Amino acid sequence: MKNRARLDCVYRHNPDTASRRIDCEVVILDLKTSVYYSLNETASTIWETLGEGLTPRRAVERLCGEFDKKPADVARDVTEIVEELLRARLIHRVD
């Protein structure tokens, strides 16, 4: 599957997006389509981690430190969110 996320890959924000943190969420604007996206606290942490040039695995580590959840559950959630960001073309994998 083309949009299958991998925890050890590096992803970058699409350069045609603009984002801003507002309280516990991040709001993203796709500048090409004018579509707004709102990310909850967990997805915001993932977005910001990827924006730092870090892997989704680092997002898993950060989220495990914040929430009392099993690492396997967090990894599954992170993978799903990264796949959603890929489908929306808000991020792309760096080869």
pLDDT digits (tens, 9 = 90+) for 7-31: 999 999 999 999 999 999 999 999 9
What is the pTM assigned to this prediction? 0.91
What one-character DSSP code corresponds to residue 4?
Answer: -
Q: What is the pLDDT of residue 5?
A: 86
- 27 touches 37 (CB < 8 A): yes
C-alpha to C-alpha distances, 7 to 2, 13, 92, nearest whole angstrom: 15, 16, 13
pLDDT < 50 positions in the chain:
1
Q: What is the pLDDT of residue 1?
A: 46
